[in-house]
Amino acid sequence: MNINQSSRFLLPMLCGTSPLFFKKEGFKGCFIGDKNKHQWDGRLLLAYDYQPTRKWGEFEDRLAEVPAYIGSYYYEKPNDDILIVYGFSTNDFKDDFEKVMEGKYSEISPQNKLEIEKFWHYYNGSYFNSRVTKKHNEAKFYWHKIDKDPNEHCAKDEYWYKPKMEDELLDKDLYI
């Protein structure tokens, strides 16, 4: 599974704590676009290794009922397996989507910060909490410990890495 900033911050905004979206079997990652299909840019894309089972069909039926669901597409792999990608609108969390893309995590809405904490089972006072609030003591310690300057890797006054677009876009060549 690819844990990029889209998976870390945006996936929980889409699904909260619902296990529906985060089907671990075959989950490859969450992305904000596809390097090969630009019509999907700005959408949240969930990529999976397709599994032709009845349970998978039920999973797809439930996804299609989600109001933010837009559609799906796939890539065929050389061994006849399929990488399937499901697309979702980000309109319901557009402002926070932009904040994540700018690396301004401390400015994410309180509601979505809570969704992120619940999704990843973070606890109050965790390092995650220090990344997305103005209480950065633990985060400052992290950067000191790894001997790097957060100003080179983070947005101003933030203590977590800015997204790198090459990590946030689906690159089929990495999964096929």
Query: How much is the average pLDDT of 139-143?
Result: 74
pTM: 0.87
pLDDT of residue 159: 80
- Top mean pLDDT of 30-39, 50-59, 142-151 is at 30-39
Structure tokens at 67: 């109001």
Nearest to 47 by CA among 36, 34, 66: 34
pLDDT tens for 18-52 read: 666 666 678 899 999 999 999 999 999 999 999 88
Delimit the domains of the chain by residue range: 1-176
- Whether 101 shows a pLDDT value over 90: the answer reads yes
Mapped onto helix, strand or coil, the DSSP state of residue 150 is helix
Dist CA 35 CA 66 (whole Å)? 25
